[in-house]
Amino acid sequence: MAQQINLFSPILLTPKRHFSAAAMLQALGACALALALLCGWSLWRTQALQRDLAATAPLHDSELARLRTALAALPDTSKDVQALEQEAAAAEQALAERQRLLTALGGDAAAGRSPAALLRQLALTLPAPVWLTDVKLTGQRLELSGQTLQPEALQAWLKDWTDASGTPARQPDELVVQRQPDGSPGGGESWAFRVVRNGASNGGLR
């Protein structure tokens, strides 16, 4: 009995081999070539980095030597601290001396018992015919020297003298008035005087 065979049936075709020996060899060769290229590039970069490192090593050594020299040249900080402490102590002592001097010169300015207050009172109360040539304030001793054209103006001025506590006026401890011919600015007569008041270092004029 005759039979019909279909030669175009996929079942009867030879199966295709996707991973043949040739394809695997080609892939292996490509991988080997890529690996060789990567190794070559890595070797080239390593040599370049080594050359750069060799070039920068002397510069690094010189900078390190200069840094060590600069550190060695720095002053000792402990000595600086001691010097600063000594300067601070000297400054504090000078400040204390100035404060004591200011207190001695200023006195109780609010109560008008200071050399400045005394000079201000002298300037405000001194009459026009009387002028001072010297004012000395030493401890509890006040000495005034000057000239006047009118002795009576000097006497009236001295009557208003008060001491530091504001007690009633009292006569100066020493009063010297001498006539000075041709001693005035106009060529007339004038009188030189000297007034001493003890216990009036903080005194004033009313």
Whether this prediction's pTM lies above 0.85 is answered by no
* Rounded Cα distance, 25 and 68, in Å: 62
Phi and psi at residue 187, in whole multiples of 5°?
90, 0
Local confidence pLDDT in tens for the 206 residues of the chain: 566 665 555 555 555 666 677 778 888 888 989 999 999 999 999 988 888 888 888 888 888 888 888 888 776 666 677 788 888 889 899 888 888 777 666 555 444 456 777 788 888 888 888 888 888 887 778 888 998 888 888 888 887 765 443 444 556 777 888 887 665 555 567 889 988 887 654 444 44
Give burial (CB, 10 Å; 0-12/13-18/19+) of 203: buried
Pairing of strands 130-138, 204-205: unpaired
Question: For residue 5, what pLDDT is reported?
Answer: 60
Domains of the chain (ranges; CATH) run 109-205 (3.30.1360)
Q: How far is CA 47 from CA 34, 39, 51, in A?
A: 20, 12, 6
Name the 3-class secondary structure at 191: strand
Question: For residue 109, what pLDDT is reported?
Answer: 47
* Rounded Cα distance, 118 and 201, in Å: 9
Place of tokens 């970069």: 45
* Rounded Cα distance, 75 and 48, in Å: 43
Tokens read off for 33: 């070539």
Q: How many CB atoms lie within 10 A of CB 117?
A: 19
